[in-house]
Amino acid sequence: MRLGGKVAVVTGAAQGLGRACADCMAAAGAKIVVSDVNADAGHEAAQAIRESGGDAHFIACDVGDKAQVDGLFASAVDLYGRVDSAVANAGIVNFSDFLELAEEDFDRVLRVNLKGVFLTGQAAARQMVRQGDGGTIINMSSINAVVAIPNIVPYVTAKGGVNQLTRAMALALADKGIRVNAIGPGSIMTEMLKSVAHDKEAMHKVLARTPMGRAGEPHEIGNIAVFLASDDSSYMTGEVVYADGGRLALNYTVPVRD
């Protein structure tokens, strides 16, 4: 199996892309530490992996709190003896008109979406350095690191920072055998997109900017995480892999295929 014998910590893994990454990595043979602030959903996600024949445990963690992040990795080592891969996926979003955006909302999003990625990567890297045999770190970015949506300013700002953080981490850790890459999803059918999927006009807007004519599925992002955590990507570091159905390549809208 591509990740057989490896241990992976996935933050924000109770639902959405984090859960898809945890599920796909478990299916590829990794032992999974499921982490999230939502304990009920996190325990359920870990239980589902075990019921599918995998090995997983849930550990609650607020990624914006350094003590909790350090505790997460210490607990992962207590459980499995090591950490081979970390997926810094935890994230939140705030919708607000730019002129009405509150300072505390800006700070709250960056605390999780950017500071949390830094703290997760630093804690993971320190453990990997102690182990002495390298590892992989995968940061969850977005196409919104490149293209901007004006009513989610903190989110797009944080994701732009994640891209640069990924590159800086990759350079800092390359000589230690630790590879750092990011995934930049486009429109993926997570809970948020499902909530508007019944709105034909809203979905037409999504599909009009997506040349492939469909939203992505969470497992399509999870499979990229497996690739980046595996030896199949052994010469990749400092990269952002965009999985967006062609959106970033588009300079015009396309007709929606009903």
Catalytic positions are 155
Q: Which residues pair with 55 in a beta bridge?
A: 31
Q: Which residues pair with 241 in a beta bridge?
A: 183
Nearest to 46 by CA among 23, 17, 78: 23
- With helix as H, strand as E and coil as C, how does 107-133 read? HHHHHHHHHHHHHHHHHHHHHHHHHCC
Q: Which two tokens stand for residue 178?
A: 């630790």
- Please tell me the total number of residues recorded for the chain in this structure: 258
Beta carbons within 8 Å of 229's beta carbon, 6+ residues apart: 3, 6, 8, 25, 30, 84, 85, 87, 136, 138
SS3 169: helix
- CA distance linking residue 145 with residue 241, whole number of Å: 12
User: Please, are residues 49 and 23 in contact by the beta-carbon 8 Å criterion?
Assistant: yes
What is the distance between the terminal CA atoms of the chain, rounded to a whole angstrom? 39
